[in-house]
Structure 1
Amino acid sequence: MSPDHSERRSHVVMVEPALTQLAKLTANETHRLDRAIVAISVNPRLGTGVPGTPLRDYVDEIDGVRVIYYVTALRTITIVAYVEA
């Protein structure tokens, strides 16, 4: 019998607008955002779907971050389009 395995984390890629925003964040903001991105990579369904688009909107009220992203069809890559911290 094979052991139960948790889902594999998706690979996270940031597009240019997100990278530009990331460059403007402080070290503390980057750390908070990193936790949110790890959570999304483990469970890409965390965010709320944006109607009429493939985008998902994830807001972490505790850390005060927002990530807009979409996930590829096989859920192996999560593409981050927008970050806010």
Structure 2
Amino acid sequence: MPSPHGPRRARIAFSDSAAKQLESLTSEAEIHALDRALVVVSVDPEVGEPIPGSAAGPQLREYADEVEHVRLLYWVTALRTVVVVAYLEV
């Protein structure tokens, strides 16, 4: 039986550099746009495009929302329960 609350969302965590970028956001419009993008990624961590690179580390992905002008670089933990944002642009 499906959950009445919908699919489980992944938690969002920020790397140190992304946390510093987050602290620099000042306008409510930027914060709102970022929040919307984070919800999209937390509901479907596979939504972003894989970034080609080494298979040695976590697979980086890029999610870009052209309407909200937000770009996220992130990776997803092995169990798909946490999305770690490495870089953000708003």
Q: Percent of counterpart pairs with the same letter?
A: 46
Match of 2:35 in 1: 34
Q: Indicate yes or no: 2:19 matched with 1:19.
A: yes
TM-score normalised per structure 2: 0.86
Pairing partner for 2:72 from 46, 49, 67: 67
TM-score normalised per structure 1: 0.91
Q: CA RMSD of the aligned region, Å? A: 1.1
Match of 2:62 in 1: 57
Give unmatched runs, 5+ long, in structure 1.
Answer: none
Runs of 4+ more than 6 Å apart: none
Give unmatched runs, 5+ long, in structure 2.
Answer: none
Number of positions where the alignment pairs a residue of Structure 1 with one of Structure 2 = 83
